[in-house]
């Protein structure tokens, strides 16, 4: 399997999620299944079927997290010399050329990505445009709302 990059914070986050799913969510679901079984006829028992479906979702997520951990390539940018180049794990301050607004993004792995929080999946269009650029460079990104133009104001390795 190919190694997937992940930040130390992202790895810690999914380890916490894994522990929660195994030690809290799994027993809770097993209890719900047992309780639903006690109600009798399983063919028409909606609670039982819902609990079994939830169990399947939980077990799939546990497998996904275990695979992510097993294939993790931990990238700690704080230990890399900052040469103002955008790389995986770096935090970037951009200036929107139209609105003059500053935006802050961090390039992260798939399990960490959350666009609303400024955490960009490293394979997303904006991240792909930013990677390998330097402070002072200009980038143009195609978005659903149209083309956006940015200047890279600062690149931090934190």
pLDDT tens for residues 24-74?
999 999 999 999 888 877 777 889 999 999 999 999 999 999 999 999 999
pLDDT at 45: 84
pLDDT at 21: 98
**Average model confidence (pLDDT) across the chain:** 94
- Check whether residue 68 and residue 90 sit in a common domain: no
pLDDT tens for residues 9-29?
999 999 999 999 999 999 999
- Check whether residue 53 and residue 89 sit in a common domain: no
- Check whether residue 62 and residue 87 sit in a common domain: no
Number of domains in the chain: 2
Residues 127, 107: contact at Cβ < 8 Å? Answer: yes
The residue out of 74, 99, 131 marking a domain boundary is 74
Give the 3-state secondary structure of residue 1. coil
Residue 123 reports pLDDT greater than 90: yes
- Which residues on neighbouring strands pair with residue 156, listed in sequence order? 91
User: For residue 108, which of 140, 86, 135 has the smallest C-alpha distance?
Assistant: 86
pLDDT at 28: 97
pLDDT at 22: 98
Identify the domain containing residue 51 by its residue range.
4-74
Give the 3-state secondary structure of residue 116. helix
How far is residue 77's CA from residue 61's CA, in Å, rounded to a whole number?
28
- The Cα-based distances of 4 to 77, 109, 123, 153 in angstroms read 15, 7, 11, 28
pLDDT at 26: 98
Q: Angle formed by the axes of helices 46-70 and 26-37, to 10°?
A: 160
- For 16-47, the three-class secondary structure string (H helix, E strand, C coil) is HHHHHHHHHHHHHHHHHHHHHHCCCCCCCCHH
The residue out of 21, 54, 74 marking a domain boundary is 74
Kindly report the CATH number assigned to the domain that includes residue 25: 1.10.287.180
How far is residue 6's CA from residue 71's CA, in Å, rounded to a whole number?
10
- Check whether residue 35 and residue 92 sit in a common domain: no
pLDDT at 142: 86
């Amino acid at each position: 399997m190919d190694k997937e990059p992940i930040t130390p914070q992202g790895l810690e986050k999914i380890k916490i999620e894994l522990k929660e799913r195994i030690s809290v969510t799994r027993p809770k679901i097993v209890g719900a299944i047992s309780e639903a079984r006690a109600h009798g006829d399983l063919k028409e028992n909606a609670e039982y079927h819902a609990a079994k479906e939830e169990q399947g979702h939980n077990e799939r997520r546990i497998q996904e997290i275990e695979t992510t951990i097993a294939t993790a390539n931990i990238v700690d940018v704080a230990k890399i010399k900052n040469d103002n180049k955008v790389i995986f794990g770096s935090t970037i301050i951009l200036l929107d050329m139209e609105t003059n607004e500053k935006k802050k993004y961090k390039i992260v792995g798939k399990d960490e990505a959350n666009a609303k929080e400024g955490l960009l999946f490293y394979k997303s269009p904006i991240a792909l445009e930013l990677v390998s650029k330097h402070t002072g460079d200009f980038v143009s990104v195609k978005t659903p709302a149209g083309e956006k133009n940015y200047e890279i104001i600062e690149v931090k390795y934190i």
